[in-house]
Structure 1
Amino acid sequence: MTKSRNPVRRSGAALGGVRGAIAGLLSAAILSGCGAINHMMYKTTGDVMQGFSKDHTVPYLMQRDDLAMSCAMSEATSPLLMSFGRVTNEPDQLAVMLYLAAGGCAEERAREAGLEGLAAMHALRAEEAQDAAIRQKRHYALAARRYHKAWEHHNAFYGAPDKNGCPDFDEDIDGFIYMAGLLSGLQALNAEIQSTSSIGVPKNIGSTVARATSCLDNETWWGAPMALRATVWAMIPGALPNGEDPFQRLETADRQGEEAGVRLSHVFHAIAAENKGDQERLRNIIRRHAEAIEAMPPAEDWVMVDAIATQVIVSISDRLWVENVGHRTPMGQLGTFWDDQAEATETMDLDDLL
């Protein structure tokens, strides 16, 4: 007859199994608790970062004129700040500024490649010019994607302009970001055209932006909303309302911007003049901008906006110079042109070499 197993040993084994199960449950609870705590911490951090960026980072940057530093910051921090959308509300409003700035970085590289291509053409270096043209289109394609992302986040936060009325702006910065989103939409379309590729930017975005500018106070925003609207009127066939003169509106916006110390309207005016092929008007706008920034410093709270306007005006001036004489606008000579005075130009070139 065989002996039965030891009941004490068997009950001990059972007890050990129960203890193991309890320990497993406790471990799972502790780990899940840590996950919940971490999620709460991440969410809180994300909310704080979004609020801090809107209330302090953006206003701080707007008071600075170092565009290269702003560009580097937007490209470097966008993934970090946008990743908080995984643990809290999507930072749509902040994303408008981040992607608009990052798109501006890519567009500036496109303009640089364009200048290199023009210089190569002037020097009859065909292969180098072709390579620069390819790089320019690649940069514009990236710019278009980034601008379009800004436009999508703008619509997510404020509502699509073609489907919603004007939003309420609790603070001035809300109105500014709304205008930045409209600008990003127009820039997305322009960059897509320059890239000669399809990014998926809606082709009616120009007319949508033009209508949405009516949500913004023209006096508050240095004439820029009307300038943006008039530029669309000048560029898109059939967009001009009866009885309107886009260039007259742009002249009025220019005066408002000059008086406010934020000359953004000059950029829109220059774009409209280029689109019409009006070289004399374009030169006058560049001269006017150069005189305006010498006569009056930028508005304290919007230094960067004015600096961006100057950067674009300089790039347009550079293109004209490179096309005609093979080099950019000489230092300190914005508002002058190679054919103003032949002797002065020759002396200026010699000084640059020395």
Structure 2
Amino acid sequence: MTDFSISSPARRCAAPNVKGLFAALVAGAMLSGCGVVNHMVYKTTGDVMQGFSRNHTVPYLMESRDLAMGCSMSEATAPLLMSFGRVTSEPDQLAVMLYLSAGSCAEEQAREHELAALAAMNAMNAEGAEDAMIRQKRAYVLASERYYKAWQHHNAHYGEPGTGECPDFDDDMDEFIYLAGLLSGLQALNGQIQSTSSIGVPANIGSIVARATGCLENDKWWGAPMALRATVWAMIPGAQPQGEDAFERLSIADTQGEDAGVRLPHVFHAIAAVNKGDQHLVKEVIREHARSLEEDPASEEWQFVDAMASNMLLAISDRLWVENTGHRTPMGQFGSFWDDEQEAVETMDLDDLL
């Protein structure tokens, strides 16, 4: 008879295996529990960071005029904040602001390379000019990629813009981020054009953005929605509706921006004038902006946007100065130009003193 007692070799071998299996199951459960706990901690942290950044960090930054600080912050924190999308909902709204700001960092570099290229051409340095232009195009590729990411996150959160249905905004910041997303779309297209490369930005973004601006109150947002729409009309052949005048609309928006202390419409006006090739109008817009800076205080709530507008117009002014003089806009002379008539200087007749 076969002995199946506890002392049999077969029984002695089976017992440890059962114990090992049980231990493995317990260990697996414990590890799984740790994973669940960690996931909950990460998710909670992500939700807190997203909410804090949207409700406090962004508004705090908008009250600052330190563009360089905002640029550095977006480039440094974007990977951290966006990584929380792996453990909680994708931070699409926050991504609009992060990638829009990071795109402006790359665009700023592109403008610096452009000025270097112009200076090199003035100095008859062909090789230096070509190298700077290559760096300029590379920077515009990066800028366009970042702006396009902002546009994609904008669409993921608000839905495809320009389809006829407007999103239900929760608060003013929600509306502002919507406007920022529209701006990022146009900037993505502009960056792609400037880079002379194709990164997949649709060519019809301009018309989409123009339609989507109808979801925003023009008076509430400093005339910027209409200015943005009018800029698209001025730049895209056939886009201007019958009976409309893009540059008349831009002039009206300029006044609204000045009154609100957020002079973003000046930027759109200057861009449209540059596209038209009207240097006289470009100068006039810059002069008006400089005058307004002295006479109209900036909005406390939106100082960052106002400072961004001034910086972009200074970049246009610098390009004009470098093209014509070899150097940028002199300190303290923003709003004036190299060919301005000098004011008559009072002179003293020394004959009477002899």
Give the TM-score normalised by structure 2: 0.94
Map of 2:168 onto structure 1: 168
TM superposition shift of 1:12: 4.7
Map of 2:117 onto structure 1: 117
TM superposition shift of 1:5: 11
Q: Which amino acid aligns with 1:210?
A: A
What pairs up with 1:214-293 in 2 under 5 angstroms? 214-293=214-293
Distance 2:339 2:87 in 1: 59
- After superposition, the C-alpha distances for 1:228-255 in whole angstroms (9 at most, x for unaligned) are 0000000000000000011110011000
Map of 2:294 onto structure 1: 294
Moved over 3 A (4+): 4-7, 9-14, 341-344
What pairs up with 1:73-222 in 2 under 5 angstroms? 73-163=73-163, 165-222=165-222
- Is 1:323 the counterpart of 2:323? The answer is yes
Q: Are the structure 2 counterparts of residues 164 and 50 from structure 1 closer, same or farther at C-alpha, using a change threshold of 3 Å? A: farther
Give the TM-score normalised by structure 1: 0.94
State the superposition RMSD in angstroms: 1.7
TM superposition shift of 1:166: 0.6
Q: Which amino acid aligns with 1:46?
A: G
- Is 1:28 the counterpart of 2:28? The answer is yes
Distance 1:304 1:94 in 2: 17
Q: Are the structure 2 counterparts of residues 71 and 241 from structure 1 closer, same or farther at C-alpha, using a change threshold of 3 Å? A: same
Aligned residues: 342
TM superposition shift of 1:13: 4.3
TM superposition shift of 1:298: 1.1
TM superposition shift of 1:189: 0.6
Map of 2:351 onto structure 1: none
Map of 1:43 onto structure 2: 43
Distance 1:231 1:22 in 2: 71
Distance 1:113 1:211 in 2: 34
Distance 1:213 1:343 in 2: 43
- After superposition, the C-alpha distances for 1:138-188 in whole angstroms (9 at most, x for unaligned) are 000111111111111111100011335111111000000000000000111
Identity of aligned residues (%): 68
Map of 1:348 onto structure 2: none
Q: Which amino acid aligns with 2:223?
A: G
- After superposition, the C-alpha distances for 1:272-293 in whole angstroms (9 at most, x for unaligned) are 0001111111101111111111
Q: Which amino acid aligns with 1:338?
A: W
Q: Which amino acid aligns with 1:18?
A: V
Gaps of 5+ in 2: 345-354
Q: Are the structure 2 counterparts of residues 334 and 72 from structure 1 closer, same or farther at C-alpha, using a change threshold of 3 Å? A: same
Distance 1:211 1:335 in 2: 33
For residue 73 of structure 2, give the secondary structure of its aligned residue in structure 1. Answer: helix
Distance 1:297 1:76 in 2: 31
TM superposition shift of 1:16: 2.6
Map of 1:8 onto structure 2: 7
Map of 1:54 onto structure 2: 54
TM superposition shift of 1:18: 2.0
Q: Which amino acid aligns with 1:165?
A: E
TM superposition shift of 1:193: 0.4
Q: Which amino acid aligns with 2:229?
A: R
For residue 329 of structure 1, give the secondary structure of its aligned residue in structure 2. Answer: coil
Distance 1:169 1:217 in 2: 12
- Is 1:332 the counterpart of 2:332? The answer is yes
- After superposition, the C-alpha distances for 1:99-127 in whole angstroms (9 at most, x for unaligned) are 11111001010000000000111111110
TM superposition shift of 1:296: 2.2
Q: Which amino acid aligns with 1:150?
A: A
Distance 1:33 1:280 in 2: 69
Q: Which moved more, 1:5-14 or 1:82-91?
A: 5-14
Distance 2:282 2:6 in 1: 100
Gaps of 5+ in 1: 345-354
Distance 1:312 1:163 in 2: 30
Map of 1:352 onto structure 2: none
For residue 8 of structure 1, give the secondary structure of its aligned residue in structure 2. Answer: coil
